[in-house]
Amino acid sequence: MRWLWLLGMVVVARAMVRIKLHRGKSLRRALLDGGVLGRILLQQSPSPAAKYHPTTATEPLANYMDLEYVGTISIGTPPQEFTVIFDTGSANLWVPSVYCSSRACTNHRRFDPARSSTYRGTTTSVATWYGTGSMVGVLGYDTVTVGNIQVQNQVFGLSQAEPGSFLAHAPFDGFLGLAFPNISSSGATPIFDNMMSQGLVSQDLFSIYLTPNKRNGSFVLFGGIDDTYFTGNLSWIPLTAQSYWQIKVDSITMYGRPIACPYGCQAIVDSGTSLLAGPTRSVGNIQYEMGARRSASGVYLVSCSFIRLLPDIVFVIAGTQFPLPPQAYILQQEDGSCMSGFEGYTLPTATSELWILGDIFLRHYYSVFDRANGMVGLAPAV
């Protein structure tokens, strides 16, 4: 009988946990409301690929400008709550701390180690750089609660300084990275790795569903797949590298012909990037075909009346077509304008052509990130 009771405890411990993501004000909107958007855009040259380039630690502000999906976690005993971006394009967990007096920290919730009975400090430093700011801090260990999962002895970053202005306006406190350990700053073990090693999830995978059109219902599901949120079958795509969630794209077509990536290219599936990004020349071809024009603030605007005339842009991946309709890749702004969801970069990369499939893509496709088998699963979202 005692053996059966213990078995029951194990079954309960290994779970599927759904974390609700709230779609709120984007960083672009917050900066605009704060009257600093124009100044910050002039201070940097956005380059989404900088996040993945092996010779730089800079993560550009452009990666986060239109992010709207945040979730809640807690750290410590008793728990201290924080809103974070669940980011498949990075591997570190970090939040502001009471050690930080930067405006970006005082505007957000700050972790206080003195209030947690389970906190264990270190002297190991951690740092992340952004286009117009940075986070410098120290690593610590504590219990991190994600939904009803309690991850014991989880390493995380406590910011000590967040120079620059844009983080002060960010509609989130920190980041929870879901990429692989080999890209983690300071060798910190990512939280999903600890979920797996501590036997806290029923399967060594997680899935993401992002709602379109401001609807509620977005989530990250740790340890499982919810087939009620997609149609048809999942297409399984093997990873070409186990650092980011990187896959091979066969081609990108528009009007039935290749518009980019004609000979195949690499792509990173990244919930921590808002747009679709690729090499400047390839993206320029797409912007031209959709009639987009660069504005003074650097974004590409499209005539809203032109949307209904545009075709699908099709990403061919592992022989399967993943079309994006114009309603998905053109963003209607609150001021009534329409913005292209594509963004170009000029930074050299380790691969001949690298694309970033951000939230615009993920809103259209339910995505599964399978650590056990080294694959990404995609299916049309409902």
Residues identified as active-site:
87, 270
Question: Which amino acid appears at position 196 of this protein?
Answer: M
Give, for 307, the enclosing helix (H) or strand (E). none
Closest alpha carbon to 357 in 151, 84, 63, 161: 63
For residue 359 the two structure tokens come to 């939230």
User: To the nearest 5 percent, what fractions of the chain are helix, strand and coil?
Assistant: 25, 40, 35
How far lies 131's CA from each of 61, 134, 303, 326, in Å? 5, 8, 29, 29
Q: Phi/psi at 147 (nearest 5 deg)?
A: 65, -125
Element (H, E) at 317: strand 313-317
φ, ψ of residue 260 in degrees (nearest 5): -160, 165
Instruction: Provide the CA 179 distance to its chain's centre, in angstroms.
Output: 10
Give the Cα separation of 199 and 11 in Å (integer): 10
Which of 255, 262, 361 is closest to 311 using CA atoms?
255
Place of tokens 């406590």: 158
